[in-house]
Amino acid sequence: MRDTLSGLGVERAKIHVELFLAAGGKQAARVQERVEALTDIVSTVRVVLDGNNFEFALPAHGDTILDAAMKAGADLPFSCKGGVCSTCRAKLLEGKVMMEVNYALEADELEQGYILTCQAHPQSEMVVVDFDA
């Protein structure tokens, strides 16, 4: 759909796509395999929202950054938790993460360092994500 509209001269910034996700099935099993294959590292994760910092420890194969931050008391924006809506989008300022799936972010957003916190697992000793960026 995007390619067709782009081919017809519509600016990419004006093309919006809405996706829907059904939980479970083969996709869930593949995602679980990827998460279980992550390193055993335990990261220090810092989340910035509205100028406030939340810091917590998170194993790479544990919860997503969004879920762990909420358990630590952060009130973060989210909606679908399926990698579709991008409500939980934040900028990765430091470290590395692995996203389970990404149906929402465009290539330019990924290049700029944006991640979906509902899908992101830390892959380095320190991870800093900023919802204010």
Query: pTM for the full model?
Result: 0.76
Alpha helices in the chain (DSSP H): 2-7, 25-36, 65-71, 107-111
Q: How many domains are contained in the chain?
A: 1
Q: Which domain holds residue 99?
A: 2-130
CATH, residue 98: 3.10.20.30
**pLDDT tens profile 91-126:** 999 999 999 999 999 999 999 999 999 999 999 999
The two tokens of residue 16 are 């919006």
pLDDT grade for 82, boundaries at 50, 70 and 90: very high
Number of helices (H) and strands (E), helices first, in the chain? 4, 7
pLDDT grade for 27, boundaries at 50, 70 and 90: low
**pLDDT at 12 (0 to 100):** 72
For 15-24, b where at least 16 C-beta lie within 10 A, e where not — what string? eeeeeeeeee
Instruction: Return mean pLDDT, the chain.
Output: 87
Which stretch of 17-26, 41-50, 97-106, 113-122 has the lowest confidence by average pLDDT?
Answer: 17-26
